[in-house]
Structure 1
Amino acid sequence: MASQPPAALRLLPVRAENAAVAFAGKSILRGIDLEITKNTRTVIMGSNGAGKSTLLRLLHGLLLPTAGRVVNAVGEPVATQVLRQHDAMLFQRPVMLRASALDNVLYAAKHQVRGITMPPPHVSALNALQSVGLAELANRPARVLSGGEQQRVAFARALVRDPEILYLDEPTASLDPQSARQIETLISTAAGRGVTIVMTTHNLAQAKRLASQIILLNDGAIAEITPATQFFIQPRSAAGRAFVEGES
């Protein structure tokens, strides 16, 4: 997993430099300066409306900044089609094609065009389903699977792209506790294999289990970027202290 593309095409580190996002004249994010480095597990936190999902989409390249820039290791915008082949994203509610679980993953495997030597798409798709514990459901229609099973299919669909970075937007918010634990295990396993993780969550306990660093957003701006071990004990900012005290 996370095989190395040519240096000029690598995403990491991803840097946001004074980036901002506004919709219809309303500021959503402002003054965003951060760097996502290899083998980190970054969790973006903040209250509702703080801009967490918007920041995730900005880093992933789904949104373009209205000011500033978001670039890769050599200063290329991450939103370019070539660079977006190097990451993947998991949403809170996955969209399943009208096809089997295997074909949902196979679709992503067939569109893996980074120029890196990979197994045949069918083999990659089966391996990805096996890695999330769903090989026995490969031929079942994806849309009849449970919510937790669909999220694992979506996880396999993301992993089959062999991403440098995996972005996850509240990936367990709609799941029962057992399914949420399964997704957390998959996230930890992917991180252990070299995939850089960037995710949002409202779940403080989950962030404690998964994060190596916390980005706290407050009203569209970064309040602090702090190692997770410190953030939950002694946040650096007043906003961080209020957030932790309010969540504990």
Structure 2
Amino acid sequence: MTYLDTEPAVGSRLLPFVAEGLTLRFGYHAVLDGLDLRLEGPGCTILMGPNGAGKSLLLKVMHGLIQPSAGHATWAGHPASGVTRFQSLVFQAPTLLRRSVAANIDFVLKTRGLDRARGPDLLDHVGLAHKADQPARLLSGGEAQRLALARALAIDPEVLLLDEPTASLDPASVLAIERIVSDARDRGVRIVFVTHDVGQARRMADDVVFLFRGRVEEHRPAADFFRAPASQAARDYLDGNIVV
């Protein structure tokens, strides 16, 4: 049995995600400023916006890593901090264990009490089976990110949060990671994906959340957003007039 033969995820058990009045302050500065957002249904939500808009911090709040200064964030009515075991978060620069590629997967499976025999199939799914015995520190950037995705998928998450997972990678690595993420979406995993790459957003998005100055400037189906963004900030962003 391969990874893709296992039972698909049921991400809808954590939906809807609701943020109301979500505020995050560092000192006197509000990096998230009364943000309201609702996500429901399957698919891939792309978070876009200029640097400093709050994208990465919103992901961390969604994953329960940061508590908001005000407002709340819930998954199916539960505080975000209470459902982390059903989610995986992959950062732009993955931190790998100083062990073999296979041992990185085995550690996650063992820690979660999951079937450790799944390790080889997970590595095969991300194209790293041939490097199972190699030290993870010797992987290229794209390979390291694929290993990070394999670890994230090892727990069978209902929600997969991705913070610019393909930044600075070569085109082949970008497409390989997009394929893995698309496979997860097709299996029912709810995806929330931060990217500055407009081409990638067009390929991956079912809907787009555009953040600006710590708030949701617009949240629309991807086709509508890219055809005719409703806000001036989004139009400027897509035209390259706001530095990302």
Q: Is the 8 A contact 1:92 1:169 kept in 2?
A: yes
Aligned to 1:171: 165
Q: Which of 77, 80, 96 in structure 2 is aligned with 1:78?
A: 80
Q: Distance in 1 between matches of 2:119 and 2:33?
A: 39
TM-score (norm 1): 0.90
1:183-236 CA-partner distances (Å, limit 9, x unpaired): 111111111111111011110000000000110011111100011001111112
Aligned to 1:238: 232
Aligned to 1:158: 152
1:50-100 CA-partner distances (Å, limit 9, x unpaired): 111111111111111110101121x221112xx101000111111110111
Aligned to 2:45: 42
Report the Cα offset of residue 103 of structure 1.
1.0
Report the Cα offset of residue 101 of structure 1.
0.7
User: What SS does the aligned partner of 1:32 have?
Assistant: strand
Q: 1:180 to 1:3 in 2, by over 3 A?
A: closer
User: 2:179 aligned with 1:185, yes or no?
Assistant: yes
Q: Is the 8 A contact 2:9 2:187 kept in 1?
A: no
1:115-146 CA-partner distances (Å, limit 9, x unpaired): xxx5x2x2222221111011111111101111
* RMSD of aligned residue pairs (Cα, Å): 1.8
Q: Is the 8 A contact 2:36 2:215 kept in 1?
A: no
What aligned pairs does 1:211-222 form with structure 2 within 5 A after superposition?
Answer: 211-222=205-216
Report the Cα offset of residue 245 of structure 1.
2.2
Aligned to 2:138: 144
Q: Distance in 1 between matches of 2:41 and 2:125?
A: 22
Gaps of at least 5 residues in structure 2 are 1-6
User: 2:129 aligned with 1:129, yes or no?
Assistant: no
Q: Distance in 2 between matches of 1:111 and 1:147?
A: 25
Task: Answer with 136-145 or 103-112: which moved more.
Answer: 103-112
Q: Is the 8 A contact 1:129 1:138 kept in 2?
A: yes
- How many residues end up aligned between the 2 structures? 236
Q: Is the 8 A contact 1:11 1:78 kept in 2?
A: no
Q: 1:224 to 1:4 in 2, by over 3 A?
A: closer
Aligned to 2:112: 112
User: 2:230 aligned with 1:227, yes or no?
Assistant: no
Q: Is the 8 A contact 1:44 1:215 kept in 2?
A: yes
Report the Cα offset of residue 4 of structure 1.
4.6
TM-score (norm 2): 0.91
Aligned to 1:26: 29
Q: Distance in 2 between matches of 1:208 and 1:174?
A: 18
Q: Distance in 1 between matches of 2:24 and 2:49?
A: 17
Q: Distance in 2 between matches of 1:53 and 1:38?
A: 22
- Name the aligned partner's letter for residue 29 of structure 1: L
Identity %: 43
User: What SS does the aligned partner of 1:222 have?
Assistant: strand
Q: 1:33 to 1:2 in 2, by over 3 A?
A: farther
